[in-house]
Amino acid sequence: MISRLRELYRHRELIENLVVRDLKVRYKNSVLGFVWSLLNPLLLMVVFTIVFTIMLPNLTIPKFPVFVMCALLPWNFFNTSVMSALNSIVHNGHLIKKVYFPREVLPISTVLSNFVNFALSLPVLFLLIIFFKVPITIWILYLPLIMLVQVAFTVGVSLILATVNVFYRDTGVIMEVVMQAWFFLTPVFYPVDLLPEWKTVWGVALPVRRLTYILNPMASIIASYRSVLYGFTNGSPPAAPAFDFFSRTVVTALLCMVIGYAVFTKYSHRFGEEV
């Protein structure tokens, strides 16, 4: 394990280069270049702002565009990362079969290049925050930490799914549906307070809200983003996420990354013949 990590470290420049390659290729063929990565969230925000302030102004959630965007951007980062990392091994089969390098480089660099995209869209989010006069507090310093936690979690999920996809090629199709469901199970468009505390299903009382956080690390991560960027639906300003809640989130994300890495390294020696 240690030697594998050391090997991965030796190939850090490869990760860097692959990220740069991804970004270059993504923007090379478009006239506007990297402006697209800004334009996309910007347009999205304009649409949200129009819809929720002009067309549906009576929503009970104040500053709804900010409320949605500070959850939607992280979710999009997660979604695109997972869906493209899933195919990173299979699509680079020609490389895998011809050259040796630590295979985890591929999903990791995919996640990281999406992360760069995500980071590039943050200025636009700040514009929105300023526009809606959401107070910017000291707790915004939590933001990089939360982002790191999300990267860890995303890498973990990506490593597992990329491995599974090598052996079962319809993983992508299944994951599209799963990601849809996951999206709706994650409080992106609705506040988590909207969920009932308890709900009885077939005679079993389920703590729905707690379960959402426990079973869905993305819910916790997004709640953290919202807590430091937006505040609360009752109008109170941003605050640090509750300590025990946030540390649980960190542990879950790290655990997920370790498990993902373990699964990946367990099977990666077979990629050369299975791809």
Residues that bind other proteins (CB under 8 A): 10-11, 13-14, 16-18, 21, 24-25, 28-29, 94-101, 168-171, 174, 269-270, 272-273
User: CB under 8 Å to 28, separation ≥6 — which residues?
Assistant: none
Q: Indicate the residue among 17 and 53 with the shorter CB distance to other proteins.
A: 17
Half-sphere exposure at residue 78, Cβ-oriented, CA atoms within 13 angstroms: 29
CB of 86 to other proteins, least distance (A): 13
- Output the CA–CA distances (angstroms, integers) from residue 103 to 7, 16, 72, 111, in the order listed: 11, 14, 30, 14
Gap between the Cα atoms of 74 and 148, Å rounded: 11
Q: Indicate the residue among 103 and 226 with the shorter CB distance to other proteins.
A: 103
Computed from CA positions of residues 58, 219, 105, 180, in that sequence, does the dihedral angle turn out positive or negative? Answer: negative
CB of 130 to other proteins, least distance (A): 37
CB of 268 to other proteins, least distance (A): 10
Residue 203 tokens read as: 């005679």
Q: Indicate the residue among 169 and 199 with the shorter CB distance to other proteins.
A: 169
> 3-state SS string over 243-265?
HHHHHHHHHHHHHHHHHHHHHHH
Q: Indicate the residue among 177 and 204 with the shorter CB distance to other proteins.
A: 177
CB of 104 to other proteins, least distance (A): 14
Residue 258 tokens read as: 């370790």
Residue 31 tokens read as: 């006239």
Q: Indicate the residue among 165 and 249 with the shorter CB distance to other proteins.
A: 165
CB of 19 to other proteins, least distance (A): 11
